[in-house]
Amino acid sequence: MSELTPELLLHGYSIGIFPMAESRSDPDIFWVDPRMRGVLPLDGFRISRSLAKAMRKTTYEVSIDRDFAGVVEACADRSETWINVEIARLYGLLHEMGHAHSLEIWDDGTLVGGVYGVTLGRAFFGESMFSRRTNASKMALAALVERLNRAGFVLFDTQFLTEHLASLGAIEIPRNTYRTRLAEALEGSADFSAPEVISLHEVIQRMTQTS
């Protein structure tokens, strides 16, 4: 692969591919173009009764873009990861450009969960998430889906379908179907930062009212 730049990364996303590394210590980066693509329908997020109950009772706080680097570092802090030093650096540059964002979950000032991704047009490309408390990543994802809806996004790309994501409503679609949806999403615009930050109590209230 030629030397990656933030601009080249954005071009890759615009045509349906994304970068990965084999491990945190492997300096090489390669493009991925899955035959089946994971997406999370923005009207199909699945909230279990236990998650809804936890969100109504929680004292966790939500923020956006407060600690982008901290979220990326936490996502990479595991035994197996595709986030190497160069990928972390490049996404930091995308964040500075306004094309990468994070949503954080805090417990009394401590970062305990979060998710980050890339935005282009009305598409959000989810990169990774982490959890250091029970349900923290699920709450982050719920808050993210609610924000994407309010901000005018129409496509939430999860890249792959995991058992965890499937339990929350994610599905797989063929590559050609994904590219059609991507092209439609790139025609418009959405502003991730525009909606006000609301509490997890408000998130669950809004989501259950519209489900």
pLDDT, tens digit, 9 for 90 and up, residues 90-123: 999 999 999 999 999 999 999 999 999 999 999 9
pLDDT of residue 209: 81
Long-range contacts of 76-80 (CB under 8 A, 24+ apart): 76/24, 76/128, 77/130, 78/130, 80/23
Taking only the tens place, the pLDDT of each residue in 144-159 is 999 999 999 999 999 9
| Both structure tokens of 157 | 């790309």
Q: What is the DSSP letter of 134?
A: T
Contact status, residue 44 vs residue 167, Cβ threshold 8 Å = no
Q: Where are the alpha helices (DSSP H) in the chain?
A: 6-14, 49-57, 68-76, 85-97, 136-151, 163-167, 175-186, 200-210
pTM: 0.94
Q: Which of 150, 91, 151, 152 is nearest to 126 (CA)?
A: 91
pLDDT of residue 210: 64
Q: Which of 36, 111, 124 is nearest to 77 (CA)?
A: 111
Distance between CA atoms of residues 124 and 185, nearest Å: 9
Average pLDDT, the chain: 94
Compute the average pLDDT of residues 112-135. 96
Taking only the tens place, the pLDDT of each residue in 176-208 is 999 999 999 999 999 999 999 999 999 999 998
Q: What CATH number matches the domain at 6-210, 3.30.70.890, 3.30.420.40, 3.40.630.70, 3.40.50.280?
A: 3.40.630.70
Distance between CA atoms of residues 145 and 123, nearest Å: 12
* Residues in CB range of 67: below 8 A, 6 or more apart: 102, 104, 111, 114
Top pLDDT among 81 and 116 is at 116
pLDDT of residue 25: 75
Contact status, residue 75 vs residue 67, Cβ threshold 8 Å = no
pLDDT of residue 185: 98
pLDDT of residue 67: 98
